[in-house]
Each structure stands twice: as C-alpha cells, then as structure tokens.
Amino acid sequence: MKTLILILSTIVSISLCQSPDQVIRIPQGYVGGFLVGKIRTFYNIPFAKPPVGSLRFRKPAPLPDAPQWQGIRDATTYGPLCHQDDALLPVSEDCLQLNIWSPLNATNLPVMVFVHGGAFTSGGGQYYSGRQQSQRDVVVVSINYRLGAFGFIGAYDLIKEDPSTGNYGILDQLEAFKWINKNIHLFGGDASQVTAYGESAGAISLAIHLVSPVTPKNLFHRVIIQSAGSLYKTTNATIPNAELNYQLLKSNLNCTDLSCMRNRTAADINFHQSKYPFIPIIDNVVLTKGIFTSVRKGEYKNMNIIVGTTSNEMSLWTCPKYDYKISESMLVQILTETFGEYVVQEIYKFYKRVDFEEPIDMLNAILSDSVLHCPSRYFGRLFSSNQEFTYQYTFDYGIKYLFNSCFKATHASELPILFPDQLVFRQYNLTKAEETMSNDMLDSWATFAKTGIPTSTSLKWEKYNAETDYETKISVPGEAEVRSGYYKNVCSLWDRVEPE
C-alpha cells in the first residue's frame, strides 16, 4: 500500500467545510456529522481512550459510557492517522477513532466494517470512503488501529503488566468492534448483522479475529478476506522474535526501561521503529497458534465468507524492485535465491516460460501463487468443509491510469473499484466499463452483508467447495466469469507445504 501511495503520489486536499447539521447523541456526548446526498457522514468518533502517556504499549482502554466532552463534537473532518511515514493526513498517537456512513432515516440496516491494510505500518480508515457502499442500504464503518511499534511491540517486560503482548493493534480493532456492537443502532445499524471486510494487513487481522479466543462470537457475523498476504508467514512470529525488536528499539531510544520508552515523543518512536518489523505475534493470548492450524483444528468462528486475491499481487513489489524488467537469467537466479535449487526444478514442471510474455510476468505468477493465491484458496477450502456459504474470487483488472503494464492487477488494485471515491484515488474517474465492474462489486459486497450470498447484475457467484473449486473472476463486463479449478494445477505444488 505504501508503494502504491508513492506511485500515485496524488495531492490530496480535503476542505469539506461542512456544517455539523446531523447530530446524534452517543453515550460519550453529541457528535455532529453532515449530509452528502442521502448519506449521513460522521468522522473522527473516538472508540477508546487515547493510547498515550502511561497507556502507550498497552491494550486499549474502553471509553466510559458517560459524557467525555461538552456540546457537539465536530464529526465533519477526518481525525489524524495513527503514526506512520508518508502519511497523506496529519498523524497523532491519539488516533483511535472510526468513521461512519449511514443512509438517511436508516433503521436496523446491516453494518459493514472495513479494516484497512498497509503492512501493519501504514494506512487508515480515513483513506476509504464508505459513501458508495452505504448507498446500497448498509451502514459502513471504517476504523483505525495502532501501527508499527505503537500497535505491535511485544516484550517480556510488557507481559509483566498484562499477559497479552505484541497485538495491541489487533485489540484496538476488537475495541472498535465492541463499540460498534454497543452503539451502531444509534446510527441506524443492526448490531446483529455485521460484516467485517479487510484488505491485506486488514484481512490478516480479520483472520486473526476468526481464530482468536479473545474475540467473542457475534461481534461480526460474515467476513470478507481480501488479499491476506503471507497469511501464515506473518503470524508465526513468537514472543522471542518480538523481544528482539523491542530490545533494538529500546536501545535506539537510549532507554533502559519501559517508563523511559513511554516518555519519548511519538515522533522519536516512529523514527526508530521503521527499521524493525512490528507485526502480530503468537502471544498465547490473542493468538495461541498459527491461523491455519486453528482452522484445521476447528477452533474458529464459522460464518459465511468471501475470500480472494488479485491476479498479479506481487508485482507491487517486484516491478519497482527490478525496475519493471528482468532478464531470462535473472529470473532463474531470483527463483533459486528465493526457493532453492530443488524447488526451482519442481517449479519448472508447473510453469512454462512460453505461457508468459515477459520473464517478470512469470516471476509475478510464481510469487503471487505461492504467497497469496494458493494460501488464500487453501484457507477458503478449509472453511468450506464446514461452511456451505464459502465464496472465492480473483480480481483480475488493473486500472491503466494507476498501474502500468508491468503491474497488471497488482496487490490492492481492487480498492479503487470498491472505493471509487476513496480519498487516495479521488482524482481518477472510472470509465464506463470500470463503473459497471464497481457497481457489481459494491452490489455483491452489500448483498453478502444483507443475505450472506453475494449477488449482482452481471457478476456471477457460485458456492465454493473442494470438488467444484469455483471462483469468480472479477473484471470488466465480458471478462468476468465463474471458473472452476483455475488454480488447481499450480496449487497442487504450493499446497504441498501445509501452512501453519
């Protein structure tokens, strides 16, 4: 996502200057949002205490159900993003807020909660406008959660304070879901019909909530997992791995204890954290084992699910890294470095160079299959053994204006279609064909939220199971179709390593 934002390098200006004429009372006070068309919009509603000072590096503290401010809190402008680099909006450590889009006069509408991606280090709910989705008679919420070290620091020192460590950002999301459960009826939403959808790190987060013993049942009832990259590799880190990063950050901050680290400025922490990976870990509380292991053991919340990927996911990293081109010999070299000689021999039994235009296209297919397509399909497959309403998709379209011919349908390329007036993409108007695809995707997501079955005019869906192996190819009209067994051959290679 970070690269994507840099590629787009759009200049974003949000001068809404709306008057807060949509006033709603929540337990913490009045919030004043605004009306766009028939959609009421509320930005920057806090769902937890500011995680600052002594609350830094701790699980989020719930907001008391008592007035927290006087008068009407302005909900017409976005709140700050959580600390990160290359932000398109101001950042702050005090960032635990959510945004709501709700049709006028809504009562008891299904709710859709979007959890953003960005490798657990960037992004924000503010980048995703729920306006178009909510026009399909759903209430949409987009949430923030702490990123980088603020959200994912883990250490033995911290376990002395609380048994759970390393997953504060995941617990922020949980706190947001609890807030929604308690308060969304005030915005016309039905807390008993919540669909969670997330992309990339947001999708991995939702997979964590599906298996986590600390996430109660019934906070959400349906789930859409979009491009959960490295679903298993990112969540096999344990406390000792996290401790290493904690020690490095601590010494970078010239600290010897936590109280010193809590006294450094957020900017100092942000500056040093970017050198080390802070990601969710198996802390034995939030996560007790790998996601796939939990699902295989039946230890997960069973619900209707859509799971999918984009067709050329990994190009987001390979195309810029290799300057959009690699030679034939480099292809073999990169594959050998990545997989080892033995696996490369196997790979060449499944992938033929003649099937790809450029060497980089073949590299992208191999990496995307191994890191995303096959693990995602496998996840859906595990789910489908217990869940009749499992759906799979591949998003196979790259907006030409945003992605050059090397990228094709890269990681995150469904986002400008699913969020057509998304903050980051606002300068681009969809073509007629793209608009049709967008409407079909928004309709599919909304009907899934309402009925548990994705339905739209021209995009067809079939239930997935291991035998039919159906998936929907999402693309412009004429290109979209339901396919069977599309990844069967290549995934017979990659599924040999059972993900944890």
**In the window 63-92, what residues touch ligand NAG (CB under 6 A)?**
none
CA-based nearest residue to 77, from 138, 24, 25, 34: 34
The contact mask relative to ligand NAG for 316-355 (x = CB under 6 A, - = no) is ----------------------------------------
- Please enumerate in sequence order all residues whose Cβ is within 8 A of that of 196, keeping only pairs 6 or more positions apart, or say none: 112, 113, 115, 177, 206, 209, 220, 222, 223, 224
Q: Helix (H, G, I), strand (E, B), or coil: what is residue 490?
A: helix
Are the C-beta atoms of 171 and 60 separated by less than 8 Å?
yes
Say how far apart CA 230 and CA 449 lie, in whole Å: 26
Contact range with ligand NAG by CB under 6 A, out of 234-242, 295-303, 467-475, 482-490 = 234-242
Tokens of 156: 């033995």
- Please enumerate in sequence order all residues whose Cβ is within 8 A of that of 310, keeping only pairs 6 or more positions apart, or say none: 227, 394, 395, 396, 409, 410, 411, 412, 413, 414
Q: Is 107 in the site for ligand NAG (CB under 6 A)?
A: no
**In the window 265-284, what residues touch ligand NAG (CB under 6 A)?**
265, 268
Amino acid at 256: T
- Give how many residues touch ligand NAG by CB under 6 A: 16
Contact range with ligand NAG by CB under 6 A, out of 5-13, 87-95, 262-270, 390-398 = 262-270
| Chain centre distance of CA 64 | 28
Residue 345 beta carbon to ligand NAG: minimum distance, rounded to whole angstroms: 20
Are the C-beta atoms of 72 and 30 separated by less than 8 Å?
yes
Residues present in the chain in total = 500
Q: Is 253 in the site for ligand NAG (CB under 6 A)?
A: yes
Q: Is 483 in the site for ligand NAG (CB under 6 A)?
A: no
Residue 439 beta carbon to ligand NAG: minimum distance, rounded to whole angstroms: 17
Pairing mode, strands 390-395 and 470-474: parallel
One residue of 13, 105, 107, 329 binding ligand NAG per CB under 6 A: 105
Tokens of 262: 């809590």
One residue of 131, 178, 182, 233 binding ligand NAG per CB under 6 A: 233
Q: Is 457 in the site for ligand NAG (CB under 6 A)?
A: no
One residue of 68, 77, 92, 241 binding ligand NAG per CB under 6 A: 241
Q: Is 102 in the site for ligand NAG (CB under 6 A)?
A: no
Q: Is 437 in the site for ligand NAG (CB under 6 A)?
A: no
Residue 241 beta carbon to ligand NAG: minimum distance, rounded to whole angstroms: 4
Say how far apart CA 111 and CA 264 lie, in whole Å: 39
Q: Is 38 in the site for ligand NAG (CB under 6 A)?
A: yes
Contact range with ligand NAG by CB under 6 A, out of 20-28, 150-158, 213-221, 233-241 = 233-241
Q: Is 119 in the site for ligand NAG (CB under 6 A)?
A: no
Residue 465 beta carbon to ligand NAG: minimum distance, rounded to whole angstroms: 28
- Listing DSSP states for 229-274 in one string gives TTTTGGG--BHHHHHHHHHHHHHHTT-SSHHHHTTS-HHHHHHHHT
Q: Which residues pair with 195 in a beta bridge?
A: 112, 222
Q: Helix (H, G, I), strand (E, B), or coil: what is residue 367?
A: helix
Q: Helix (H, G, I), strand (E, B), or coil: what is residue 101?
A: strand
Q: Is 429 in the site for ligand NAG (CB under 6 A)?
A: yes
Taking the C-alpha atoms of 125, 128, 132 and 134 in order, what is their torsion angle to the nearest 10 degrees? Answer: -10
**In the window 43-62, what residues touch ligand NAG (CB under 6 A)?**
53
Residue 434 beta carbon to ligand NAG: minimum distance, rounded to whole angstroms: 13
Q: Which is nearer to ligand NAG, 19 or 427 (CB)?
A: 427
Q: Which is nearer to ligand NAG, 109 or 174 (CB)?
A: 109
Burial (CB count within 10 angstroms: exposed 0-12, middle 13-18, buried 19+), residue 451:
middle
Q: Is 254 in the site for ligand NAG (CB under 6 A)?
A: yes
Q: Helix (H, G, I), strand (E, B), or coil: what is residue 480?
A: coil
Residue 447 beta carbon to ligand NAG: minimum distance, rounded to whole angstroms: 21
Q: Is 427 in the site for ligand NAG (CB under 6 A)?
A: yes
CA-based nearest residue to 175, from 200, 205, 155, 148: 205
How many Å is the Cα radius of gyration of the chain?
22
Q: Is 104 in the site for ligand NAG (CB under 6 A)?
A: yes
Tokens of 180: 């929604």
Residue 392 beta carbon to ligand NAG: minimum distance, rounded to whole angstroms: 24
Q: Helix (H, G, I), strand (E, B), or coil: what is residue 72?
A: strand
Q: Is 108 in the site for ligand NAG (CB under 6 A)?
A: no
One residue of 97, 193, 200, 236 binding ligand NAG per CB under 6 A: 236
Q: Which is nearer to ligand NAG, 190 or 462 (CB)?
A: 190
**In the window 138-177, what residues touch ligand NAG (CB under 6 A)?**
none
Which residues form the interface with ligand NAG (CB under 6 A)? 38, 53, 104-105, 233, 236-237, 241, 253-254, 263-265, 268, 427, 429
